[in-house]
Structure 1
Amino acid sequence: MHKVINENTGLNPDLCNYDGTMLEGFGGRRNGGSNFRYDSWRVPMNMALDYEWSGTDSLWQRQYGEKIQDFFFSQGVNTFVDQYRVDGSLPEGDEILQAGGFRKLRHSIGLVSTLAAASVMCQHEKRKAFVDALWNARHEPFDDGYFDAYYDGLLRLFAFMHLSGRYRVID
């Protein structure tokens, strides 16, 4: 992860090779696979889980959590969109991966959730804004009718588990 996380934004690509290099040309559906988007959202939450359960890289994980929250805070906690290039600029055209038949940038509750879960790694004051954003978010259809009960819903559930302090290993 150290090799693939953008040092300025904290964003990671949707796809990469195991050595951290970018994976390009993975079919037309994945045009822009080096961008931060749906599969990328899981990284902040996975980092939080590793931080909570093992903490073997806790200093770097804390820095990562604060960096990615800093970036999204700068985009507006209640207005950031769900896809970016890893340098923080907005994707265009075919780079925007569609969901549910819509090719559109949205403020998705799935990303709100994973960024809130990242708060367990952070010590800065901004972390509370992300937790509040999740707590106050409504999981409901967008104005155009698009609704993702599965992915957004599960990420929301997992974030609440992280933030409750009850996400534990069961032997």
Structure 2
Amino acid sequence: MKRQILTLLAVLLLLGCGIIDKKNQQTGSFHTGVYQNLFVELLGLSDEEVKLKIDNAFNQLFYGDDKTERVYYPMGDDMAYIVDINNNDVRTEGMSYGMMIAVQLNKKEEFDRLWKWAKTYMQHQSGPHKDYFAWHCKTDGTKISINSASDGEEWFVMALFFASARWGDGEGIYNYKKEAQKILDAMLNKSENSDERDVVTNMFSKKHKQVVFVPNGDADDFTDPSYHLPHFYELWSLWADKENNFWREVADTSRSFLKRAVHALTGLAPDYANFDGSPIDRWGGGHNNFQYDAWRVAMNVAVDYQWFAKDKWAIEQSNRLLNFFYSQGIKNYGSLFTLDGKMLMPDHSEGLVAMNAVAALASDLEIRKEFVRELWELKIPTGHYRYYNGLLTMLGLLQVSGNFRIYHIK
């Protein structure tokens, strides 16, 4: 906190002296080192109260009751996995989220345990999938599917870069930067595209400069809006050892894509979309609607704006989304909707509450305070559905409190 205050004072002093051009200054946490803590700024809570809340959430999800609270389970002396309790499997989504949570909270042991499990059991070491990860496995490490879900690799790369910056690189699989680069190289060096189901393709379309849903022949011609992470790509454009211009173009393309993907009135995004942003429901299941994946779009838009402040559209979009959910009743809005706002599922889900609170980082509405309060008062999820709801709640607490930070590669 002391460092944040000193950084802010320095920026204000330079502005006042005319050393920084007010019209051309670069904003966003990447440049200023300042991260909003909305629990303190909007709710008047103390830093100590916020830290306790975050510590308690982490301890419950990582070390709570085996049957009702935790999702993190150690395996042997140096590995651990995160379980999707509802499906009884281990997913790259959860493993990479767990690693990101660990690096943000300076939990190196937990990070290394998760990474070794993912590296040992999930990452392909040979064949056409080499350096991609099987998107889900049994808890004994057996691969259930050999295919990848692109968001897992994205979050692995970003968590590894931050680990390199925060802790330095070690030997072997703990040379975090080298491991991140290995995944980036794999993303762009498979077949460009295919209509054959068994052909492994690039995780990012070089033609469309967008992340694909699944990098194989029958799922690489559309995308998932929640997989679009322009703030990650912006950092990769600076830290990768090749393809830097490509990653910069991907960041810009993703920001433009999200504008097309969300509904103009509600701000809701679909689970799946064509590269032009239009919703798609490839195999049925209603994925042209606002469903579980799409909850995360609010987080991605807001964190991108907090870190880089590239486009004030993020403010408009966050306001639009919060206004919609406020109109649905802030205490009891549903969890699934058509894009034009018809409720499909009345359940009020913790994960969506957390993601909407993150949108407050980019909103300038008075009501954003109420969304932040809803997250603060939220109990950390327990029981059968604690995996997805719990991890999104943990990420939301970090982001809204200013503890989801860029650790700079030197």
| Structure 2 Cα separation of the partners of residues 120 and 140 of structure 1 | 23
Structure 2 counterpart of 1:165, which letter? G
* 1:100 alignment partner in structure 2: none
Matches within 5 A, 1:16-95: 16-24=273-281, 26-28=282-284, 31-57=285-311, 59-91=312-344
How large is the Cα RMSD of the aligned pairs? 1.4
* 1:108 alignment partner in structure 2: 349
Residue 374 of structure 2 is aligned to residue 129 of structure 1: no
* 1:158 alignment partner in structure 2: 395
Displacement, 1:19? 1.6
Residue 404 of structure 2 is aligned to residue 147 of structure 1: no
Secondary structure of 1:53's counterpart equals: helix
Conservation of the 8 A alpha-carbon contact between 1:140 and 1:147: no
Structure 2 counterpart of 1:16, which letter? A
Bigger radius of gyration, 1 or 2?
2
Give CA deviations for 1:95-150 in whole Å, capped at 9, x if unaligned: xxxxxxxxx54100000000001101011110000011111122345xxxx63221
* 2:263 alignment partner in structure 1: 6
Q: Report runs of 4+ in structure 1 exceeding 6 Å deviation.
A: none
Residue 404 of structure 2 is aligned to residue 167 of structure 1: yes
Unaligned runs of 5+ in 2: 1-257
Conservation of the 8 A alpha-carbon contact between 2:381 and 2:390: no
Secondary structure of 2:276's counterpart equals: coil
Secondary structure of 1:49's counterpart equals: helix
| Structure 2 Cα separation of the partners of residues 108 and 116 of structure 1 | 13
Q: Percent identity, aligned pairs only?
A: 36
Displacement, 1:169? 1.0
Give CA deviations for 1:76-96 in whole Å, capped at 9, x if unaligned: 1110011000000123xxxxx
| Structure 2 Cα separation of the partners of residues 126 and 139 of structure 1 | 23
Displacement, 1:69? 0.2
| Structure 2 Cα separation of the partners of residues 140 and 21 of structure 1 | 33
| Structure 2 Cα separation of the partners of residues 162 and 78 of structure 1 | 21
Query: What TM-score, normalized to structure 1?
Result: 0.83
Secondary structure of 2:259's counterpart equals: coil
Number of matched pairs: 151
Pick which of 14-23 and 120-129 moved more.
14-23
Conservation of the 8 A alpha-carbon contact between 1:14 and 1:38: yes
